[in-house]
Amino acid sequence: MTIPSITSKLPQVGTTIFTVMSSLASELGAVNLGQGFPDYPMSEELIGLVDKAMRKGHNQYAHMHGLQSLREVLAGKIEYLYGTSIDPATQITITPGGTYAIYTALTTILQPGDEVIVFEPAYDSYIPNIEINGAIPVRIPLRYPDYGIDWNIVRRSITPRTRMIMLNSPHNPTGSVLREDDIAELRALVQDSRIFIQSDEVYEHLIFDGVPHQSILRYPDLLARSFVSFSFGKVYHCTGWKLGYSVSSPGLMAEFRKVHQFNCFSCHTPSQVALAEYLTDRSSYLGLAPFLQGKRDYFQDLMRATRFTPLPSFGSYFQLYKYDRISNEPDKDFAIRITKEYGVAVIPVSAFYTSGKDDKVVRFCFAKKEETLQRAVERLRKI
C-alpha cells in the first residue's frame, strides 16, 4: 500500500521554544516564568457574567462579525481612548484570539512574492504566517539594547514588492513601545505607497510609567491601510479563552471577513455577551496598567538581589534581563541549565530571531502571583 507524502509548507518549523521550556518546567517542577500566561485568577465578575449568559441561553452561534453589542462597546472604547470614530458594523470583527486576527489579515492581503517587513526579535507566529502565504519576510533587527526601530534601515529595505509592515507595541518579547516620532516616521514612509500595516496591539492596556499607547487607531490616515489586532485573553488574564478582535477600514474589513467566514465563522457566544456588559465599566480596562506595572515593579525590586541586569520594560507581561555578569553561555543553553539546576524557566531571546542572534538576554514573565515571583527569585539569587 502506498502512503501519500506531502511537501511541508513550513519545513523549518518545529516545536516552539515556549512549548519546550514549559514542558521542561512541568517535568522538573520549575517555576515557569517563561510562557506568557498569568497564574492568578481572572475577574470573578467576568466569570459570573459568562455564567449568566450561558444560563440565559446565549449558547448558539453569534453573528460571523461578532456580537453586535460587543462591537458597539468596543467602538465606544476606541472613541473614548483614541478619539477615532469607528463603525461597529463595518470595521470590527471578533476573532478567536489575536494570533488568528494577524494570520487572517496577512492572508487577506498577501500574494506570493510580496515582501513583508518584520522587526526582530519578533513574536513567533509572524514569519510562519507570512511564509505560508507565499510571501517573503524582510527581517530588520531592532536596536539593542533599547529595541527601537532604525527607520533608516526600514527606508533602505523598501522595494517595489514591499506590501506590508508588521508592528507590535507594546512589544513581545522586549516590552518596548512605539513613540510619537516612530509614528511620524511611519506616516511619512507609507504616504502615497501601496504598503499596508498589521499592528499587533494585544497588550494595548498593559503599558507603564504614564507612556501613552501610540495605537494605529489614533491616526485615521494609517488606519485606512491597517489591520489592528487585539486580545481579550491577554488583557483580562484569561489566555485560554482565545478571543480577540481586529479593527480596520470598511473596505479592508470586508475582505478580511471573506477569509474569516470560511475559517472560524463564529466565536464563543457566552464570552462575547459577558464582555459586552463588562466593558461598559471603563475601570475594567483603565485599571489594568497600574495593576501590571505593580507586578513589574515588584519583580524588579526582587531581582535587585540577583546578578541579572534589567532592560527597560514599558509594557506587556515581560521584561528582559541580561545575564552577562553570570555566564557567557548561549542564551538557550543558559535557559535550559537554570531550569534544570535552579528550577526557574525563562525564554531565550535568540528564539525570537530567525538567525538565532544572541545578545545573552532572557525573557521573564512577571504576570504572576507575588508568591510565584518570590519563589522564583529566591532560586535565582543562588545563581
Summarised one tens digit per residue, pLDDT across range 207-261 is 999 999 999 999 999 999 999 999 999 999 999 999 999 999 999 999 999 999 9
Looking at the structure of the chain, the number of domains it has is 2
Last residue of a domain, one of 235, 258, 283: 283
Considering the domain architecture, whether residues 201 and 222 belong to the same structural domain is answered as yes
DSSP track, 74-143? HHHHHHHHH-----TTTSEEEESSHHHHHHHHHHHH--TT-EEEEEES--TTHHHHHHHTT-EEEEEEPP
Q: How many CB atoms lie within 10 A of CB 276?
A: 20
In the numeric block, the cell 488606519 is attached to: 223
Mean pLDDT of 113-127: 97
Considering the domain architecture, whether residues 79 and 90 belong to the same structural domain is answered as yes
- Assess if residue 7 is contained within a domain: no
Considering the domain architecture, whether residues 227 and 113 belong to the same structural domain is answered as yes
CATH number of the structural domain spanning residue 319: 3.90.1150.10
Summarised one tens digit per residue, pLDDT across range 324-381 is 999 999 999 999 999 999 999 999 999 999 999 999 999 999 999 999 999 999 999 9
Mean pLDDT of the chain: 96
Instruction: Quote the pLDDT of residue 316.
Output: 97
pTM: predicted TM-score of the whole model, two decimal places: 0.96
In eight-state DSSP terms, residue 304 is: T
Cell for 191? Answer: 504616504
8 A C-beta contact, residue 162 and residue 138: yes
CA distances to 25, 104, 346, 351 from 14, rounded to whole Å, are 19, 22, 19, 12
- Angle between the 288-303 and 370-380 helix axes, to the nearest 10 degrees? 20
Considering the domain architecture, whether residues 167 and 290 belong to the same structural domain is answered as no
Considering the domain architecture, whether residues 94 and 239 belong to the same structural domain is answered as yes
